[in-house]
C-alpha cells in the first residue's frame, strides 16, 4: 500500500477495518450473521512501513527547543546525547542534572534515555555542557561574560545541531540550565542570560501529584477532557491517570471517595435495564453503576414521567489499592435492544461521558509512613521528590565520575522530572565526599542520593557506617542481626527482617547492581539511597532496570538487587523509622496497632492494677449488703 506523503504528519495512526460487500449482511435492519471461528484476517508483525526522506538543514535557533535534540511527539525510544569535557566537575554535572530533569518533565510519562560522552561530539543532534575555554571533541566552548546558550552546526554534519550550555561557575551554569526550563526562548542562535530567580517549591506541591488539601476535579488531571467521552456502542475503556505522593496514609476502614457525575447516551434503542458503567482502578474492578435509578421510588418516578436516569454516584476506593502511579478506568457497557437496527449500533455520533466536574477527594489523607522504603523511591523518587525541585536533596558522586556514573545521574534526574513535572532547580551535587563545614550542613539538611560502584569506598564507607551494610574490599556485606536484636525488633512491632537471605545472596552473586537505603549518618531523620553495583558495566544497566515494570513491582525494603541474569529481589535488612505529619491522637492509635505486644502488656498491667482494687470494692459492697439484711 502506498501512503501519500502529504498525509504523513509528526504524529500518525494507522487503522485497519474488515468489511464485507454482502448487501444482506450489511442491511440496515439486520445484524451481521455469525461467521465461522476460523474466518479472520491477521496482520503479521513482520509487516513494515518503509519511510524515507531527507534530513533538512534547519536554522540554528533556540526557539524550537527541545527540538531537534528530542521530539516529544516521537513514539519510539530516543536517546538524548549529552557531551562533557574530559573531566566534568560538580558544577557541570549539576547543570546537566537540571537539563535531564527538564527532558523528563517533557517526556509525557515515557522513560528518557541518555547517551553520555566525555570529550567527544555526539553523532547527531546533541548538547554540550561545560565552562568557557574547555574543549569537547575538538570544539572549544566560546568565551562569554556569564551564563549563555548557543546553537551551532555539528562539524560532523551541518544538518545536525549542537546546543552549548556554558557558564564560568556553578551559579552561572545553573542559570543557563534554568533558562531552558522557562518559556519563550528567542528565535536566535545565541542568548546571554541575565540573573534569574526561581522560587523554591513547598513540600508536596508537585503539579503531577494530586492535591490533598481539597477535592480535585478530574478535568484538572487531563490535558484533554475529550478523553473521558465514549463514542458509539463499541469503544475502548476511558482512562484517567493520576499520581499521588507515595506516603499517603489513611486509617484502615477509611476510603477515598470518587464523586462521579456521568451520563449515558440517550437513544430509544438502548436497553437501559441491561446497560451499565464499570469503574476500575489499576485494572481491578471497583463498582458497576446502572443507567436507571433503583429503589422504591423508581416505579413512582416512571408513573409520573420523571427522569429515571442515574447521573451521579459515589465510588469509595480502598486506600490500600492506591499506588504512586494510578489509572482509573471507565467503561460504558451499552446494550442494544433486540430490535435495534445495525446501522444505529454503528453510529459513532452517540456519546456517553464522565463529567469533568467529578472529583477525587484525598483531603482526609495524611503524609506518614516508614523509611527507608525503596518501593517509594523506585516509584516516585521519594523522599527526594517531597520537594519537587529537589531543594532538600544532595547528590554524592565519585571524585572522578565515570561515563556510567553520569548516565545513572541523568536517568534518575529525568525520572524525578517525569514523576513530578518539575525540574531539579535546587539540587546540590558534590564530586567526592565534601569536607567543608557548609557542605556538611547541607548534607545534614538533605536526603542524600549516592551514585557509584562499590570500588568507590572512600565515598560509600562513610554512608554505610552504623547501618546494616558494610564494604569489605569492594565487596558489599550485610550484618546479620543477633537473636536479641530480632526479639527487640519483634517487640517494637517491626516486620521480620530478611538480612540472612540478603547476606546469602551477596555471597552467591559476584556481579549485581541495585539500590541500598539507610538512615543518613548526618541526620537520623533523613535517608541515604545509594545506586551502586559491583562494577561500572553493571551500574550502566541499572537505569534501564528501574524502568521495567518487574522492577517497580518487586522493589522494596532497603535493599533491591538485580543479578547478571536479570533476576530482581528485595530484602529488608535494617531498621526503619517513621516520617510524616500524623496528629498526636492518630500517632497513639497507630503505635498501638503496630506494637501489639506492648498493647497486650499494657492491658495486662491495667488488669493487674485494677483487678485487686475492683475485687476489694466489690467485697466491701457485698459485706455491706449482707449487714443490711441482718439488721432487717
pLDDT in tens, 191-201: 999 988 999 99
- The mean-pLDDT minimum among 31-35, 53-57, 613-617 falls in 31-35
pLDDT at 398: 95
Residue corresponding to grid cell 437496527: 341
Average pLDDT over residues 601-609: 85
Average pLDDT over residues 125-134: 95
How many CA within 13 A on the CB side of residue 71?
9
Q: Which three cell numbers stand for residue 218?
A: 478530574
Q: Which three cell numbers stand for residue 305?
A: 414521567
- Alpha carbons 71 and 55: distance in angstroms, whole number: 14
First-to-final CA distance of the chain: 114
Whether the CB-CB separation of 523 and 444 falls below 8 Å is answered with yes
Average pLDDT over residues 28-48: 71
Report DSSP state, residue 218. Answer: G
Phi, then psi, of 593 in degrees rounded to 5? -70, -30
Print burial letters for 380-392: b (CB count within 10 Å at least 16), e (below 16).
bbbbbbbbbbbbb
In this predicted structure, the answer to whether residue 29 has a pLDDT above a threshold of 50 is no
Find which of 86-95, 257-266, 318-327, 477-486 is predicted with most confidence, using mean pLDDT.
86-95
Q: Is 235 helix (H, G, I), strand (E, B) or coil?
A: coil
Q: What confidence tens digit (pLDDT) does each residue in 189-246 have?
A: 999 999 889 999 999 999 999 999 999 999 888 877 788 888 888 788 999 999 999 9
Residue corresponding to grid cell 433486540: 338
**Long-range CB pairs of 197-201, under 8 A, 24+ apart, other chains included:** 198/389, 198/425, 200/387, 200/389, 200/391, 200/425, 200/426, 201/387, 201/388, 201/389, 201/391, 201/422
The structure's pTM equals 0.85
Counting Cβ atoms within 10 Å, is residue 301 exposed (0-12), middle (13-18) or buried (19+)? Answer: middle
What is the DSSP annotation of 96-161?
HHHHHHHHHHHSTTPPPEEEEEESS--SSSEEEEE-TT-EETTEEPPP-SSSEEEEEEETTEEEEE
Q: Is 461 helix (H, G, I), strand (E, B) or coil?
A: helix
- Alpha carbons 402 and 278: distance in angstroms, whole number: 51
In this predicted structure, the answer to whether residue 118 has a pLDDT above a threshold of 60 is yes
Whether the CB-CB separation of 156 and 162 falls below 8 Å is answered with no
- Alpha carbons 368 and 591: distance in angstroms, whole number: 13
pLDDT at 61: 93
Count of beta carbons in the 10 Å neighbourhood of residue 170: 17
Report DSSP state, residue 309. Answer: B
pLDDT at 462: 92
pLDDT at 28: 47
- Alpha carbons 19 and 5: distance in angstroms, whole number: 26
In this predicted structure, the answer to whether residue 35 has a pLDDT above a threshold of 70 is no
pLDDT higher at 112 or 545: 545
In this predicted structure, the answer to whether residue 14 has a pLDDT above a threshold of 60 is yes
- The mean-pLDDT minimum among 23-32, 105-114, 473-482, 541-550 falls in 23-32
pLDDT at 494: 67
Find which of 5-9, 250-254, 338-342, 374-378 is predicted with most confidence, using mean pLDDT.
374-378
Determine what percent of the chain is predicted with pLDDT higher than 70. 90
Average pLDDT over residues 529-549: 93
The per-residue pLDDT of the chain, averaged, comes to 87
Count of beta carbons in the 10 Å neighbourhood of residue 406: 24
pLDDT at 267: 82
> Sorting pLDDT into bands at 50, 70 and 90, what band is 301?
low
pLDDT at 575: 86
Q: Is 420 helix (H, G, I), strand (E, B) or coil?
A: helix
Q: Is 84 helix (H, G, I), strand (E, B) or coil?
A: strand
Whether the CB-CB separation of 120 and 139 falls below 8 Å is answered with no
Closest CA to 574 of 513, 530, 631: 530
Print burial letters for 534-561: b (CB count within 10 Å at least 16), e (below 16).
bbbebbbbbbebbbeeebbebbbbbbbb
In this predicted structure, the answer to whether residue 131 has a pLDDT above a threshold of 50 is yes
- CA separation, residue 603 to residues 176, 403, 593 (Å): 63, 60, 13
In this predicted structure, the answer to whether residue 302 has a pLDDT above a threshold of 70 is no
Amino acid at each position: 500500500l502506498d501512503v501519500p506523503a502529504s498525509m504523513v504528519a509528526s504524529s500518525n495512526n494507522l487503522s485497519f477495518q474488515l468489511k464485507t460487500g454482502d448487501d444482506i449482511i450489511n442491511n440496515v435492519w439486520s445484524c451481521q450473521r455469525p461467521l465461522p471461528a476460523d474466518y479472520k484476517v491477521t496482520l503479521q508483525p513482520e509487516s513494515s512501513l518503509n519511510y524515507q526522506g531527507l534530513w533538512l538543514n534547519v536554522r540554528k535557533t533556540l526557539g524550537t527547543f527541545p527540538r531537534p535534540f528530542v521530539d516529544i511527539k516521537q513514539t519510539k525510544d530516543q536517546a538524548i546525547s549529552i557531551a562533557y569535557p574530559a573531566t566534568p566537575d560538580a558544577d557541570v554535572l549539576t547543570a546537566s542534572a537540571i537539563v535531564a530533569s527538564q527532558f523528563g518533565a517533557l517526556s509525557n510519562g515515557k522513560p528518557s534515555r541518555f547517551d553520555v560522552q566525555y570529550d567527544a561530539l555526539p553523532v547527531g543532534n546533541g548538547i554540550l555542557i561545560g565552562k568557557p575555554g574547555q574543549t569537547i571533541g575538538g570544539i572549544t566552548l566560546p568565551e562569554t561574560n556569564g551564563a549563555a546558550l548557543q546553537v551551532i552546526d555539528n562539524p560532523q554534519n551541518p544538518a545536525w545541531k549542537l546546543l552549548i550550555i556554558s557558564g564560568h561557575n556553578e551559579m552561572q551554569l545553573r542559570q543557563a540550565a534554568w533558562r531552558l526550563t522557562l518559556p519563550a526562548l528567542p528565535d536566535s542562535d545565541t542568548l546571554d542570560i541575565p540573573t534569574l530567580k526561581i522560587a523554591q517549591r513547598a513540600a508536596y506541591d508537585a503539579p503531577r501529584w494530586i492535591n490533598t488539601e481539597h477535592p480535585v476535579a478530574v478535568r484538572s488531571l487531563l490535558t484533554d477532557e475529550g478523553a473521558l467521552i465514549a463514542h458509539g456502542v463499541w469503544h475502548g475503556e476511558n482512562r484517567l491517570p493520576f499520581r499521588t505522593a507515595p506516603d499517603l496514609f489513611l486509617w484502615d476502614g477509611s476510603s477515598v471517595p470518587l464523586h462521579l457525575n456521568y451520563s449515558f447516551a440517550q437513544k430509544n434503542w438502548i436497553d437501559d435495564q441491561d446497560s451499565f458503567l464499570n469503574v476500575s482502578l489499576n485494572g481491578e474492578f471497583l463498582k458497576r453503576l446502572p443507567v436507571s435509578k433503583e429503589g422504591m421510588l423508581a416505579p413512582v418516578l416512571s408513573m409520573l414521567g420523571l427522569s429515571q436516569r442515574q447521573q451521579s454516584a459515589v465510588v469509595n476506593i480502598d486506600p490500600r489499592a492506591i499506588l504512586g502511579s494510578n489509572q482509573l478506568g471507565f467503561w460504558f457497557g451499552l446494550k442494544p435492544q433486540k430490535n435495534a437496527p445495525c446501522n444505529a449500533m454503528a453510529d459513532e455520533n452517540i456519546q456517553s461521558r464522565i463529567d469533568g466536574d467529578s472529583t477525587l477527594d484525598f483531603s482526609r489523607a495524611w503524609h506518614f509512613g516508614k523509611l527507608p522504603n525503596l518501593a517509594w523511591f523506585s516509584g516516585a523518587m521519594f523522599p527526594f521528590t517531597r520537594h519537587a525541585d529537589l531543594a532538600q536533596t544532595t547528590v554524592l558522586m565519585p571524585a572522578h565520575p565515570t561515563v556510567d556514573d553520569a548516565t545513572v545521574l541523568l536517568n534518575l534526574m529525568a525520572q524525578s522530572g517525569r514523576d513530578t513535572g518539575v525540574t531539579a532547580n535546587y539540587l546540590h551535587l558534590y564530586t567526592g565526599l565534601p569536607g567543608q563545614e557548609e557542605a556538611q550542613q547541607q548534607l545534614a539538611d538533605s536526603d542524600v542520593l549516592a551514585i557509584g560502584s562499590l570500588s568507590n569506598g572512600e565515598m560509600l564507607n562513610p554512608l554505610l557506617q552504623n547501618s546494616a551494610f558494610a564494604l569489605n574490599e569492594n565487596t558489599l556485606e550485610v550484618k546479620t542481626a543477633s537473636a536479641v536484636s530480632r526479639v527487640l525488633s519483634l517487640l517494637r512491632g517491626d516486620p521480620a527482617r530478611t538480612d540472612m537471605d540478603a547476606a546469602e545472596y551477596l555471597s552467591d552473586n559476584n556481579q549485581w547492581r541495585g539500590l541500598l537505603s539507610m538512615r543518613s549518618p548526618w541526620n537520623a531523620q533523613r535517608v541515604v539511597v545509594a545506586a551502586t553495583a559491583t562494577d561500572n558495566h553493571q551500574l550502566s544497566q541499572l537505569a534501564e532496570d528501574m524502568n521495567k515494570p518487574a522492577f517497580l513491582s518487586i522493589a522494596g525494603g532497603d535493599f533491591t538487587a538485580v543479578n547478571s541474569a536479570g533476576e530482581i529481589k528485595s530484602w529488608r535488612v535494617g531498621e526503619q523509622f517513621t516520617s510524616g505529619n500524623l496528629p498526636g491522637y492518630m500517632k497513639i492509635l497507630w503505635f498501638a496497632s503496630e506494637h501489639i505486644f506492648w498493647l497486650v502488656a499494657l492491658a495486662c498491667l491495667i488488669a493487674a492494677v485494677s483487678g485487686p482494687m475492683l475485687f476489694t470494692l466489690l467485697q466491701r459492697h457485698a459485706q455491706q449488703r449482707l449487714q443490711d439484711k441482718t439488721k432487717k
